[in-house]
Amino acid sequence: MATPTGIEPRQRSDELLLLVLVAILAAGGYLLTLLSERTELTGSLTPRLAAVGLLFLAAHVAVRRYAPGADATLLPLAALLDGIGFIFVARLDEDLAAAQTVWTAVGIGAFIVTLIVVKEARALERYRYTFALIGIVTLLLPTIPGIGREVNGARLWVRLGPINFQPGEIAKVVLVIFFASYLIEKRELLSEMTRRVGRVPLPEPRHLGPLLAAWGVSLVIMVQEKDLGSSLLFFGVFAVMLYLATGRGAYVGIAGLMFGVGAALAYRAFSHVATRVTTWLDPWPDASGQGYQLVQSLYAFGSGGFAGTGFGLGHPEKIPNAATDFVFAAIGEELGLLGAVAVLIVYLLFIGSGLRIAARAERPFLKLLAAGLTTIVGVQTFIILGGVTRVIPLTGITMPFISYGGSSLVSNFALLALLLRISAESDVDETLLGRDAGLAAVAPGVRGAS
């Protein structure tokens, strides 16, 4: 598709300038970590940080080539989050930093491939049931004996030969594509509220099938995979998309009630769910056992105070799995309340940019798809931050773009590419509409002159 004259240089130039600013901030944070008295980092990580910078430059070149009219802020925001993550992962474990560099390369490779392969996001609507099948199969793969693996109490991993990955990270993206396509097709039926309970309007029971199916799958994840976080993410994203497609708040209430019932049943029936909830309510009686990780996280936030201890001057290594589940606690300790709020603002800017793309999209499918992809990032961020800060029970999902994790990075970069593709299509659609409106306005005068 052609890009309007003058739009490409401005948007892509702004994106490049923002990436340069991100590179300066990341390099500054890394330098401060190197200069700290207690750090164990070595200068050998400097080439890796430079490699991450070059990878994002390659991503920028790909956007300039394949989606020149796309939003200019999403890629720099993702780069900033990834840069923060690299600094703290390197701070905690140099070997993980090397692996994180490799996974960032794979993730940006997936980003570029997605931009090349998905030439029109609207074409994805035709393959809704293919995506549904892929999503359900990948979501349930960890439950299959022989290939599914349990790590830290959750059965989220799959081993295929030498490769270990979390298929749920792939499932969340492909299922959102299915949800967007299905809900747009059925939105009129799902919007009909023909029953009432008191003053609350309700849909026909036969139209609750998709919600019941999503509820059932979320319960399977919670029970079989022992993963409350992925269950909440999957069901929450579906409920939000159902509300966006129909505009009916009743679905949100029904979804919340259904998840609450399912969680209560799981709490009574399964010990690992009960342990998570008990630890969340009061971790201090078992501060050296089940509550140790959460207690250390709270101590880290307390040690950070308002401005933090400074890069490399905290002790996040005392928190188990600090590079994955609890990386935000490390950020809170060394950057303090100011740094933690700054990271939250970056996520809010990312989510705001995604919702702006959804609002600008002309086609209903693209609107709902962009909103759903953005909801993944928003809900996942809330779940992990809520668990680390004791707002909700602790879960094992990753913090988008920041936590160490290959599957998460690859899926999030693919998600980012889809958002940019939708943004580029919307930019072209707006231009074509404007051109057609201009021709319609000029045509009567042209006919009159002739």
Read off the amino acid at residue 257. L
Give the per-residue pLDDT at 450.
Answer: 37
Residue given tokens 């593709």 in the structure block: 421
From 359, 358, 395, select the one nearest 380 (Cα to Cα): 395
Q: Kind and range of the H or E element at 195? A: strand 195-197
Structural domain boundaries in the chain: 7-449
Tallying the residues shown for the chain, one arrives at: 450
Residue range 188-233, pLDDT digits in tens = 777 766 666 666 666 666 666 666 676 677 666 666 666 667 777 8
DSSP for 231-295 reads HHHHHHHHHHHHHHHH--HHHHHHHHHHHHHHHHHHHHH-HHHHHHHHHHH--GGGTTTTTHHHH
Give the per-residue pLDDT at 201.
Answer: 63
Residue range 85-137, pLDDT digits in tens = 988 888 888 778 888 888 899 999 999 999 999 999 899 988 888 888 888 88
CA distance 295 to 198: 45
What's the Cα-to-Cα distance from 398 to each of 3, 364, 389, rounded to whole Å? 36, 30, 14
pTM: 0.86
What residues contact 358, with CB distance under 8 A and at least 6 apart? 366, 367, 368, 370, 371, 374, 422
What residues contact 438, with CB distance under 8 A and at least 6 apart? none
Q: Which residues of the chain have pLDDT under 70?
A: 1-9, 37-45, 148, 150-156, 161-162, 192-212, 214-215, 218-228, 396, 427-450
Give the per-residue pLDDT at 326.
Answer: 87
CA distance 230 to 236: 10
